[in-house]
């Protein structure tokens, strides 16, 4: 090989090395980004599982109340927690004066 061919081969090797470094750097950054996303999603999953657990407990409590007193309990819950009333019913709220 002539000196020129050796010089071109060395330049090609350097270029290939630089390209490989860029690809590996991009892959490392992408991997780190994905790991951060996974951690955030795992945290969100844990929070949702905690909320689901709390809602299941509340649901069981409400089901027990319904089973115990049936219609009267359902009506009391509908009125107190959801501000529901019968269609022909008028509800008056008394506001205490601040005097």
pLDDT digits (tens, 9 = 90+) for 65-90: 777 667 777 788 888 889 888 888 88
27 φ/ψ sector (left φ>0, alpha ψ -120 to 50, else beta)? alpha
pLDDT digits (tens, 9 = 90+) for 16-61: 999 999 999 999 999 999 999 999 999 999 999 999 999 999 999 8
pLDDT more than 70, % of the chain = 93
Q: Rounded mean pLDDT of the chain?
A: 87
Q: Domain spans of the chain?
A: 3-82
The DSSP symbol for 99 reads: -
């Amino acid at each position: 090989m002539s000196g020129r061919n050796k010089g071109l081969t060395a330049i090609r090797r350097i270029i290939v090395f630089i390209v490989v470094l860029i690809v590996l750097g991009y892959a490392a950054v992408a991997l780190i980004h994905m790991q951060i996303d996974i951690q955030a999603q795992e945290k969100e999953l844990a929070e949702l599982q905690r909320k689901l657990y709390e809602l299941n407990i509340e649901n069981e409590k409400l089901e027990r109340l319904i089973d115990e007193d049936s219609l009267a309990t359902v009506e009391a819950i509908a009125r107190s927690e959801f501000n529901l009333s019968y269609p022909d019913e008028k509800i008056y709220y008394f506001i205490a004066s601040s005097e």
